[in-house]
Amino acid sequence: DDVDRAYFAVFDGHGGVDAADYSATHLHVNVGLHKEFVKNPAEALKCSFQKTDEMFLFKAKREKLRSGTTGVSALIVGSKLHIAWLGDSQVMLVQQGKAVTLMEPHKPERE
């Protein structure tokens, strides 16, 4: 279609790099293949994070892997910015030299 899109993501492995590498390899594919990708990018991101997690858990059980990851992704669709994150990863947007809070990161002490 004629819509410009850009995808960015960062993963921070915990207990090794397996989960981070897996997520970096598969999350964007799951987002792009999601049935709601064009109509509802936010839903595609949310579902794709969950699907990628389930896929890695299956692989981790089969291969006895013991790592995890936090992750944050940004999907720009036209002039809209969609952010998805898992764990304590954070996104910072700087607009005209000022930081704009986009999210409240997960912290163990936060309910």
Query: 102 or 81, which is more confident?
Result: 81
Strand pairing partners for 93? 100
Q: What is the length of the chain?
A: 111
pLDDT band for position 8 (cuts 50, 70, 90): very high
Domain ranges of the chain: 5-101
- The mean per-residue pLDDT over the stretch 97-108 comes to 83
Alpha-carbon span 86 to 30, nearest angstrom: 16
For the range 82-89, what are the long-range contacts, defined as Cβ-Cβ under 8 Å and sequence gap of 24 or more?
82/41, 82/42, 82/45, 84/42, 84/45, 84/46, 84/49, 86/49, 86/53, 87/12, 89/10, 89/11, 89/12
Q: Domain 5-101 has what CATH class? A: alpha beta
Residue recorded with tokens 């692989």: 59
Q: What percentage of the chain carries pLDDT values higher than 70?
A: 100
Question: What per-residue confidence (pLDDT) applies to 102?
Answer: 85
Question: What per-residue confidence (pLDDT) applies to 66?
Answer: 94
- Has residue 1 got a pLDDT over 90? no
* pLDDT single digits (tens) 80-94: 999 999 888 888 899
